[in-house]
Structure 1
Amino acid sequence: MERGDVPYLLNGAFRRLAYVSFGNPDNPPVICVHGLTRNGRDFDVLAQALSDAYFVICPDLPGRGASDWLPEGGLYQPASYVVALGHLLAAIGRPVVWIGTSLGGMCGMALAATEGSPIRQLVLNDVGPFIPRAALARIRDYMALGDPPGFADLAEVEAYLRRVHAPFGPMTDADWAHMARHSSRAGADGLLRLHYDPAIAEPIRASEPADTDLWALWPAIKAPVLVIRGAESDLLLAETVEQMEVSRAESYVVPGVGHAPSLTDEATIARIRRFIV
């Protein structure tokens, strides 16, 4: 695993988008982009599995992980993430496979729909062109609670993550421990805190949840699509997947999982590998 970063211009200043990469840089590139409060290390298992044949790049979205925090909470919007990720695509300079979980998949759809997009295949993990209001309300209510004041140790971090991300899966004890290790940072007071800027919640708290309809983007996406759904997901509905299938998408359902599949089990990794070959 190697660490790196690319600069991107946003709101009149250059900022830094950090990433970790796996595999030989000469191999075909795969970009893995995480969800709302997560970071690029969520993809370590998948990235290691694909690194024999691909160069896998896992960025931290702005305000998460090792990437720069933004000066205003209002900047934490999908448009800002697309700008940062567009710079990453430009730096790579080659056609890529895009694997995006939730927010990462929304960014992938936006970039894949642009003229001249370098995205040659798109894997959408538990997200599609329609997101129901009820799921967004659940996310807003969770974000409105605010972050815990701090954790004494990684065991407390893990217990918190197991509670708030209970629908994730399938997850082993080792997966949860890995998530806790990479989801926390040391505060000045010696306590551990979640590894993102708390201000990422500001736009979500300020908005009234409503159905998000991105179907207008869908016809512009020319890349082949694989959509992965957690069988119990409230964010990606079964009927949305059916509509995506009608317009050429392939689908795969992970049983016993909500939002979102962790992409760590052998069966899901094998399905992704078959699609991107």
Structure 2
Amino acid sequence: MSSVSTAVQFQPADEPRLDFVACASLAGLHRMAYWEWGDPDNDRVLVCVHGLTRTGRDFDPLARALNREYRVVCPDIVGRGRSDWLIDPSGYVIPQYVADLVTLVARLRPARLDWVGTSMGGLIGLGLAGMAAVSPALRPSRGPWGLDAAADVPLGRMVFNDIGPALDVDGLARIGEYVGQDLRFDRYEQAVDYVRTVSAGFGPHDAAGWNALTRFVFREQEGQWVKHYDLRLAQPFALQTPEATTAAEALLWQAWDHLPVPSLILRGAQSDILRQTTAQQMVERNAQARLVEFDGVGHAPTLRSDDQIAAVRDFLLTP
């Protein structure tokens, strides 16, 4: 008599699951939202972290391409998307974001943790990797909400999307001009036009692509379309001094020089954030790094096109 298996094979879904994790700041607790793709029991985890004014839904195409091999997790960094806003806006800085991601990693319990970080998400990843450089294993401690400690969470491979230890001042000034602007549109199509204008560096996209890049960064409120994030996150951004930037870059270069895992640097050939000279320095200073550039793209590649997705997929999955 033949036996029939009762096991249910996991089938990837077309849309992600939404969940939340409690994180701590000096002002108290806040919830961080994250979008999850793939088998929830898969302990091979890929964390994808967005740029300054974006959300975890930026990675939908990449997640769909990788959710059979990975449990793909795409957080909305605090102050953005479906996450809470901080009581104290001074907390909108990289150290707070790193602490939040450590809490998330403890929740996920990965056997292997790979990383894709676009712009700010890459800096968060570099901060996390800096912790791994101190200890070969990333060991999030037990949190106050009953989370078990992740005993050994080995970092696998890391993708840094148009970001590095040195930042172009002119590019940062361009971003700073629109981060805190309180814009309101009567029609969704106006929001799409706005995103297409300020995000020209994303490179060429068709109408469906620009719609997808707008869908989660504007929300309807009282009959108008407004930005999805806390406008106060512009405050610590604007308070950066040249001295503070220089000190931060020194720490980032130190973390990069000791990055203990293979890394892929993606660069838009016309980027005004990651200079070509900086990208070359990154390759020269870390033997485990390699660089891929995309023509016709500035800051930052959106990881939506076939060639960009293929570059990430090949790097993460090739033995």
Note the residue ranges of structure 2 that are not aligned, 5 or more in a row. Answer: 1-15, 139-152
1:139 alignment partner in structure 2: 175
Q: Return the structure number with greater relative CO, CA threshold 8 A, min gap 6.
A: 1
CA distance in 2 between counterparts of 1:268 and 1:258 reads 13
| CA displacement at 1:268 relative to structure 2 | 1.3
CA distance in 2 between counterparts of 1:4 and 1:180 reads 22
Matched-pair contact (CA < 8 Å) for 1:170–1:265: no
CA distance in 2 between counterparts of 1:89 and 1:173 reads 36
2:261 alignment partner in structure 1: 223
Q: SS where residue 185 of structure 2 aligns?
A: coil
Residue 40 of structure 1 aligns with an amino acid whose one-letter code is: G
CA distance in 2 between counterparts of 1:228 and 1:264 reads 13
2:187 alignment partner in structure 1: 153
CA distance in 2 between counterparts of 1:65 and 1:35 reads 12
Matched-pair contact (CA < 8 Å) for 1:32–1:58: yes
Please give the per-residue CA displacement for 1:182-211, whole angstroms capped at 9, x wherever unaligned.
111222x32110110111111122334555
CA distance in 2 between counterparts of 1:245 and 1:224 reads 11
CA distance in 1 between counterparts of 2:301 and 2:182 reads 23
2:150 alignment partner in structure 1: none
Q: 1:85 aligns with which of 74, 92, 101?
A: 101
Over the matched positions of the two proteins, sequence identity in percent amounts to 39
Q: 2:126 aligns with which of 109, 113, 125?
A: 109
CA distance in 2 between counterparts of 1:129 and 1:180 reads 28
Please give the per-residue CA displacement for 1:149-177, whole angstroms capped at 9, x wherever unaligned.
x1112101101100111111342221111
Q: 2:68 aligns with which of 48, 52, 57?
A: 52
The higher radius of gyration belongs to 2
CA distance in 2 between counterparts of 1:172 and 1:100 reads 24
CA distance in 2 between counterparts of 1:175 and 1:52 reads 24
Q: SS where residue 209 of structure 2 aligns?
A: helix
CA distance in 2 between counterparts of 1:256 and 1:193 reads 29
Runs of 4+ in 1 over 3 A off after TM superposition: 208-212
Residue 74 of structure 2 aligns with an amino acid whose one-letter code is: C
Q: CA RMSD in A?
A: 1.5
CA distance in 1 between counterparts of 2:170 and 2:215 reads 31
CA distance in 1 between counterparts of 2:307 and 2:174 reads 29
| CA displacement at 1:270 relative to structure 2 | 1.0
| CA displacement at 1:227 relative to structure 2 | 0.4
Q: 1:190 aligns with which of 210, 223, 230?
A: 223
CA distance in 1 between counterparts of 2:211 and 2:27 reads 39
CA distance in 2 between counterparts of 1:82 and 1:170 reads 32
Q: SS where residue 313 of structure 2 aligns?
A: helix
Q: What TM-score do the two structures reach when normalised by structure 2?
A: 0.82
Note the residue ranges of structure 1 that are not aligned, 5 or more in a row. Answer: none
CA distance in 1 between counterparts of 2:213 and 2:307 reads 20
Residue 25 of structure 2 aligns with an amino acid whose one-letter code is: L
Q: SS where residue 171 of structure 1 aligns?
A: coil
1:205 alignment partner in structure 2: 238
Matched, 1:2 2:17: yes
Q: SS where residue 87 of structure 2 aligns?
A: coil
